[in-house]
Amino acid sequence: MTNVKVKTARKVPRGEARRTELAEIAERLFLKHGFAETTMQMIALEAEASKETLYRHFASKEALFAELINARAVTVAGPQSALARDEPPETALLELGMSLMNLMMKGEAPSLFNVVLADARRAPDLARIFYDQGPGATLRRLTVYLRSATQRGQLRCPNPHQAAKLFLGAVISHYHLHCLIGQPPAPLSSTEMSEHVRAAVEMFMSHFGV
């Protein structure tokens, strides 16, 4: 009797799981081919989905890219973060700084940033999307927190927006420069990252603390 191998169809996830899978596949293609050269048709084929399914989840390629950037911003300062819970400044700033450093060291944010640099001229909206959904979102969330902490008497930030930029710059500017020039920073141990972030928090608190 001849054994017949039956090809099992891939089980396609539904709802949010499918949306996440589509975004992950799109990210791989963006990193491999660039934003401009990646089409929605390519993403659909790679995901074994119809274009109708893809467009049901994402209105455009730009919306898909925005989802990827926003997901990273949420891991840094999302609704479950110490910032959102209005924790004391030292706690909230330390958590935020460590989240930023972990993201930088993993190389995910710099990789997508490189996609923006490479395709910004051919896709001019890309840089705006990246900033608004990524660094800009984190800056806005930190600004709101610093304003609220000042109103609670925990900080003295007459210009919360400026103070937020100073803190973020103190944490990541040196390491981000390495990414800009195509030389990823040397790996840091968790102890080294913690020491760096604590120093930035202490410097911030020495000027803006009560």
**Tens digit of pLDDT for each residue in 64-76?**
999 999 888 888 8
Report pLDDT digits (tens) over 23-57: 999 999 998 998 989 999 999 999 999 999 999 99
The torsion angles phi and psi of 10, rounded to 5 degrees, stand at: -65, 135
CATH number of 12-58: 1.10.10.60
Whether the domain at 12-58 and the domain at 62-208 fall into the same CATH topology: no
Tokens 């896709």 found at = 123
Share of the chain above pLDDT 90, in %: 59
* Stretch 70-86: mean pLDDT: 89
pLDDT at 11 > cutoff 50:
yes
Distances in Å between the Cα of 152 and the Cα atoms of 89, 192, 204, 209 are: 11, 32, 17, 12
* Contact by Cβ (8 Å): 61, 40: yes
pLDDT tier at 111 (50, 70, 90 boundaries)? confident
For residue 182, the 8-state DSSP code is T
Instruction: Rounding to the nearest 10 degrees, give the CA dihedral for residues 131, 75, 12, 43.
Output: 20
The full set of domain ranges for the chain reads 12-58, 62-208
CA 97 → CA 83, 94, 149, distances in Å? Answer: 11, 5, 17
Strand, helix or coil for residue 120 = coil
Any idea which fold 62-208 has? Tetracycline Repressor; domain 2 (1.10.357)
**The pLDDT value given to residue 4:** 46
